Structure 1
Amino acid sequence: MEYVRVCSTYGAGFWYVPGTDSCIQLSGRMRADYVYVEPKNGRTDAYGVGNGRYKDATGIKARARLNVDVRTPTDFGTLRAYLRFQIDKNTGNQGTGSGALVDKAYIQWAGITAGQAQSFFDFYADDLNWGSFGGNAGSDASTNLLAYTATFGSGFSATISLEDRGNRQINANYYDVAGQRLPDVVANLRVDQDWGSAQLSGALHQLNSGTIYNPWGGSWGTRVDTAYGWAVQGGVKFKLPQLGAGDVLWLQAAYADGALSYLGITGNNTTGKVVNTIADGYIVNGDIKTTAGWNITAAGVHYWTPSVRSTLWGSYTNVSYDSPVKLDNALFRDFNVWQVGSALIWSPVSKFDIGVEVLYGRLERNRFDVVDYNAPIYVKRSEDSIQTRLRLQRDF
């Protein structure tokens, strides 16, 4: 009879698969969130009358996650297969019903990463914040990809990645998106040192349309030219052991044109009477006009004691449309999104957290963008909201 043996080559938690030289680690997470979102009176009819009582102010999210990590030594380095399977059960303002997904499923070998993995554009990727308001605090996407990473020693590396365009499209129907001809091309330069890490990322995003444009009408004409969106991002992560063991500070900034997903935007944003329609591009006079924006994010965690820590994070996103787009369609208006949040977390035992996060968000649209039916003229509108979240989480 062959007994299971500990495999210390790849860190804690690995053990040898009996009869092989492969090591496996099983891990996972159970999480329960209890969420309150301040209800707002939104526009529900032609006269701007809304009733926040029809909206769920409270909600519950339950999440179960299983990770399987298998590693085998080869002549060309470690062969790794990684799977993360996740099931959610949501109610109230967290949505309804259950959902199961493969969040990660990839193979790594000899510098190659293939499958469903974290985008190589991402850096901070919502590491500390729990909730969000109108999108993530920055780019955070799990996507299908094929990538190659070259390592140069001393913690330096570079990656080139082909990633699924479909996971990065925002309201692509506004430019009549055609079939994918070119996946998103993502590249990064990264350094990991004792003091922390830093990364510079870039992405190219194709916007191709199936529309035939004829300014005089009719079924004939010329096809709308393909446009290309792009994004750049720089980030740094500082380890701050002089303040407390485990203390970290994240700083990140990004700019995108025609590729708003790389700013952390996930779709339309609505708060009360302020309704944002967001799209990467829009066709005006036979051309795709791309939408530009930028984002900055800062986040930190401080350990007051080994079992008590707090987080503080914030982000600001600014998006602007070309004048021809705003003249052609009143739905598209420049806007800003502010997010600020903080959490206090207690770990009574190892890998078990009990915490509360409070999040403030504010959505602003430029003046003359929103109709206030209680006023005689168009006025500037903005709305804010507060979320609170109680979380219990057990990792194993």
Structure 2
Amino acid sequence: MNIKSLLLGSAAALAAVSGAQAADAIVAAEPEPMEYVRVCDAFGTGYFYIPGTETCLKIGGYVRFQTNFGRDRSGTSDWDTFTRGQLQFDAKNDTELGTLESTIVLQTNADSSVNGGSTFLDTASIAIAGFKFGYYYSWWDDGIAGETDALATNTIFNSISYTYDGGAFKAGISVDE
């Protein structure tokens, strides 16, 4: 009787454990949907929110390829090529003083005369409430993409400027290094 009750008890325990395992099936939790990129239309097209912040970011740029035909100044070549790539980051955020804007522009030029090309910081600036601080083009060369005025390369400075924008009328003052 001892062995008989031991066998019955073991069978009952085994059945209870097996039933418990079957009832407690593993259910995989559904992953919560994540929003990787949210569009930010507060500052125009092309902006998106940086995850976890209220800052809007726009990444842009261009690639330019140019070929010149004919003898160069040294008289050694019938043609020459030039390539430029520009990468621009614009970040904007609303504050009590207005929109806080930050801009960084990196530029790379590749020419046959420069082995491997040259990469440099073209613009780095912060602007808020009409004030702008940083390294950027002066008003003598502002707004003509890819070109420079008669002042050549003397138009990009470390500067502090203020611009009053009255809609159809703009006025400003700048101190350039």
Cα deviations by residue, 1:317-360 (Å, 9 ceiling, x for unpaired): xxxxxxxxxxxxxxxxxxxxxxxxxxxxxxxxxxxxxxxxxxxx
5+ residue gaps, structure 2, are 1-33
> Could you tell me which of 10, 15, 18 is aligned with 2:48?
15
**For residues 191-340 of structure 1, what are the structure 2 equivalents within 5 Å?**
none
Query: Tell me, what secondary structure is at the counterpart of 1:121?
Result: helix
1:85-136 CA-partner distances (Å, limit 9, x unpaired): 0111111xxx3221011111111011111111110233564x586xxxxxx5
Aligned partner of 1:145: which letter? S
Q: Tell me the amino acid that sits aligned with residue 155 of structure 1.
A: A
Deviation at 1:30, TM superposition (A): 1.7
- 1:157 and 2:149 aligned: no
- Matched with 2:26 is none
**Aligned equivalent of 2:24:** none
Aligned length: 141
- Opposite residue 112 of structure 1, the aligned amino acid is F
1:117 to 109, 117, 136: 136
Aligned to 2:108: 87
Give the SS at the match of 2:174.
strand
Structure with bigger RCO (C-alpha 8 Å, 6+ apart): 1
Over 3 Å counting, the alpha-carbon distance change for 1:137 and 1:159 in structure 2 is: closer
Q: 1:155 Cα shift?
A: 2.4
Name the structure where strand makes up a greater proportion of residues.
Answer: 1
Work out the CA distance in 1 between the residues paired with 2:167 and 2:89: 29
**CA offsets per residue over residues 131-166 of structure 1, 9 Å max, x none?**
xxxxx5544622221111122x232121111112xx
Please report the RMSD computed on the Cα atoms of aligned residues, expressed in angstroms: 2.2
CA distance in 1, matches of 2:146, 2:125: 24
* Structure (1/2) with the larger helix percentage: 2
After superposition, the C-alpha distances for 1:40-60 in whole angstroms (9 at most, x for unaligned) are 6xxxxxxxxxxx54x444211
Q: Which of 96, 112, 132 is 2:114 aligned to? A: 96
Deviation at 1:39, TM superposition (A): 4.0
* CA distance 1:163–1:57, shift in 2 (3 Å): farther
| Structure 1 unaligned blocks of 5 or more | 41-51, 130-135, 165-396
Identity across matched positions, percent: 28
TM-score by length of 1: 0.33
1:78 corresponds, among 78, 85, 99, to 99
The residue identity in structure 2 corresponding to 1:115 is: G
Q: How much has 1:23 moved relative to structure 2? A: 0.3
Asked if structure 2 preserves the Cα contact closer than 8 Å seen for 1:4 and 1:16, the reply is yes
